[in-house]
Amino acid sequence: MHRSRRTRKKAGGASWLATYSDLMNLLLCFFVMLYAMSSINAGKYEEIKSSFANVGIFGSGILPGKEGALDGENGILEGNDLGKEESDSTVVRAENAETELNDEQVKEAYLAGQRQATEKLFAELDGQAVQSGLKGNGVAVLADYDYNCVIINIDGAVLFESGETEIRSEALPLMSKIGDILQTYEGGNMIEIVGHTDNVPVSANARYRDNNELSTDRALSAFYYFVQEKGISPAEIKYSGRGEYEPVATNETEEGRQKNRRIEIQIYPSL
Q: What is the pLDDT of residues 34-78, one digit of tens each?
A: 776 665 566 666 666 666 555 554 444 444 444 444 444 444 445
Residue 236 domain-assigned (yes or no): yes
How many domains is the chain partitioned into structurally?
1
Full strand arrangement of the beta sheet holding 139-143? 139-143, 150-155, 262-267, 191-196, 237-241
How many residues are given for the chain?
271
pLDDT tens track for 183-234: 999 888 999 999 999 999 998 777 899 999 999 999 999 999 999 999 999 9
Q: With H, G, I as helix, E, B as strand and everything else as coil, classify residue 55.
A: coil
In a domain, 1, yes or no: no
Q: Is the pTM of this model over 0.75?
A: no
* Continuous H helices in the chain: 16-38, 42-53, 79-131, 156-159, 172-183, 211-230, 254-260
In one-letter notation, the amino acid at residue 64 is P
For residue 23, what pLDDT band results from cuts at 50, 70 and 90?
Answer: confident
Is 170 among the domain residues? yes
Q: Rounded distance, CA 266 to CA 122, Å? A: 11
Q: Indicate the pLDDT class of residue 154, thresholds 50, 70 and 90.
A: very high
Distance CA 119, CA 165 (A): 32
In a domain, 194, yes or no: yes
- Is residue 79, in this structure, part of any structural domain at all? no
What pLDDT, on the 0 to 100 scale, is given for residue 51? 61
Nearest to 148 by CA among 212, 194, 102: 194
For residue 2, tell me if it sits in a domain.
Answer: no
In-domain check, residue 64: no
Domain that holds residue 151: 117-267
Between residues 102 and 78, which one has the greater pLDDT?
A: 102
The answer as to whether 45 is a domain residue is: no
pLDDT reported for residue 110: 85
The CATH number of the domain holding residue 188 is: 3.30.1330.60
